[in-house]
Structure 1
Amino acid sequence: MPKICHAFICAASAAVLLPGGAQAAEASFGDQQDDYLIGASVVNGNSHIGTAQGSTTDLKPLWAFQLGPLRVSRSRASALMSVGREALETGLSTEFKPTEDVSLSVSLRLDNGRSFEADPLLRGLPDIGTTVRARLSARRALGPRWSWSMNTDHDLLGRGGGLRLGTGVNYAYPYSEDTQLDFSLGTGLGNARYMQTHYGISLEGAQATGRDTYQLSGGLENLRAGLNFSTALGDHWVAFGGLEMSRILGRAARSPLVGRLATHSVTIGIAYRSR
């Protein structure tokens, strides 16, 4: 796993250093303007982890700010700000375009961790602390509608988050001048530390809960699919929604922490952007 991710990072870095890459990145910076987006969404979904049955419904704020070459965004706001524009990364990010068809993004993201305090069967397992993850993403256009992406992120604070790798394809269908549908299919992998922290049970955790230990190595985590839409309601307002589904795979699927193999998330919302 680390070798794959190190190769990806090296390849992405090399792309920035290709002849003309620096000039392309500088040009993309110069084209950026200050911008913002604020909105809210209603999300109904469930989680792989835990024993609670059924799904929950939450109201979630979302926002994004563009300050020159830097972008700060939460949740899906990054994509909504880019309806009809370049795609943005979630978190604190900036983007480089070494070629017309390839874009590279570097970002910092807050990972809120996890607690078992509200789960009576898993209470006593160690919490996963909040941390900051550094993320490097690459996207390549495969035509007017298809694109391929790859990303890797790592726990910067050493709180058990480990390293993850994701890859997938996306199909963008312009339903009308103002409305776009997006279909995505992807998979995620994690190194041994990430998988053990999120799906394993250590000796200390087993003693605290009376469960058996469960050890994992690096490997596949899940397969994900999504169908999303966004539509402009005018110059500033954007409506959006979609369905996301995930199926956990491999040894992660056999973890005692996993309460359900397949999950869903249904979202609908509205947002306002400044330009």
Structure 2
Amino acid sequence: MFHPSLHTCPRVGALAWALALVCVVPAAQAQAAPSANEDDKATLHYALGAIVSTGPDYAGGDGRKNSLRPAWAIEYGRFRLSTSRGSAFMGHGLRPRESGASATLAENDRFHLSASLRIDKGRDGSDAPILVGLPSVRSTLRARVSGGYALTERWSVGAGVSQDILGRDGGAQLSTSVGYTWPVTEQTKVTFGAGASFGDRKYMRGHFGVPDAGASALPAFSPRAGLYSVDAGVEVMSAINRHWVVFGAARVSQLKADAARSPLTMDPTGYSVSLGLAYRCCR
């Protein structure tokens, strides 16, 4: 499940294996994923909408990128296919907001374990002027295993490991999070969350490194593996009626350690805001 490159980063590797143990033990105790009979009773759920958002042009950039994009998610039983923001409209509590194709491996009232595949679009020189002349971060396919655990009715924790499975120098990532959900009304809930992200050497070099030679005038920089970002945010989900829902989110992130020291980092603090509307069916 884990790429050998993780062994070049003891800190990330240890955390990754710890996550694996945390996932396996509760999974063995958790209620198994839906049985064949339950799958026979499964119905199709979907959400179709759009989200307008603004955020940094790249991690560490001081420019802004604004977008209006369609957002959708389709779910049948324990399988889901969604855009990067579409799963937010499904409102699944413990379940991670995975984009791409995902499947539930095991779950009960307090624990959830899933696996997913998604396309990582990477980064190139068109994202910001400072990136011109640097090697592109090639698009790739990432595999991810993630889990969530409810500490109480409102507090939950989660973690996930993802790996570039096409060998395009995307490396491995580990993310951790803690969240608090406040049910304001029967139709509206507010979720507060905070998290930290770690990368192995390949990931850090690809996203924050500068090679020794090239067309760029920036000084060479070779970041080490480890913690590269912390973040915090708030999300609001409200049902207008049985089918229509609105979603809003604001998040701030702070680059840390070598990511903050990178010549590519113009502003270590970034914020993003998004607002969406969607039609949900059959839930």
Q: CA RMSD in A?
A: 2.2
Q: Which residue of 2 aligns with 1:39?
A: 49
Q: Which amino acid aligns with 1:13?
A: V
1:1-275 alignment to 2 at 5 Å?
Answer: 1-16=12-27, 18=28, 21-22=31-32, 24-26=33-35, 29=39, 32-49=42-59, 53-82=62-91, 89-117=98-126, 119-203=128-212, 206-275=213-282
Number of residue pairs the alignment of both structures matches: 270
- Maintained 8 Å contact 1:79/1:87: no
Equivalent-residue separation in structure 2 for 1:31 and 1:172 (angstroms) = 30
Closer, same or farther: CA 30–252 of 1 in aligned 2, 3 Å: farther
Equivalent-residue separation in structure 1 for 2:93 and 2:107 (angstroms) = 21
Closer, same or farther: CA 186–28 of 1 in aligned 2, 3 Å: farther
Deviations 1:143-198 (A, max 9, x none): 11110001110001111110000101011101111011110000100011111111
Q: Which shifted more, 150-159 or 109-118?
A: 109-118
Equivalent-residue separation in structure 2 for 1:135 and 1:250 (angstroms) = 24
Deviations 1:73-128 (A, max 9, x none): 11222121126796653221111335431110111111000011354333110111
Query: Aligned with 2:88: secondary structure?
Result: helix
- Maintained 8 Å contact 2:104/2:114: yes
Give the superposition deviation at 1:35: 1.3
Q: Which amino acid aligns with 1:210?
A: A
- Maintained 8 Å contact 2:60/2:255: no
Closer, same or farther: CA 250–98 of 1 in aligned 2, 3 Å: same
Q: Which residue of 1 aligns with 2:9?
A: none
Give the superposition deviation at 1:57: 2.1
Closer, same or farther: CA 241–233 of 1 in aligned 2, 3 Å: same
Give the superposition deviation at 1:261: 0.8
Closer, same or farther: CA 88–225 of 1 in aligned 2, 3 Å: closer
Gaps of 5+ in 2: 1-11
Query: Aligned with 1:117: secondary structure?
Result: helix
- Maintained 8 Å contact 1:117/1:124: no
- Maintained 8 Å contact 1:39/1:270: yes
Q: Which amino acid aligns with 2:271?
A: H
- Maintained 8 Å contact 1:153/1:164: yes
Equivalent-residue separation in structure 2 for 1:50 and 1:88 (angstroms) = 23
Give the superposition deviation at 1:249: 0.5
Structure-2-length-normalised TM-score: 0.87
- Maintained 8 Å contact 1:15/1:98: no
Equivalent-residue separation in structure 2 for 1:84 and 1:123 (angstroms) = 41
Q: Which shifted more, 230-239 or 2-11?
A: 2-11
Equivalent-residue separation in structure 2 for 1:105 and 1:228 (angstroms) = 22
Equivalent-residue separation in structure 2 for 1:71 and 1:142 (angstroms) = 25
Query: Aligned with 1:176: secondary structure?
Result: coil
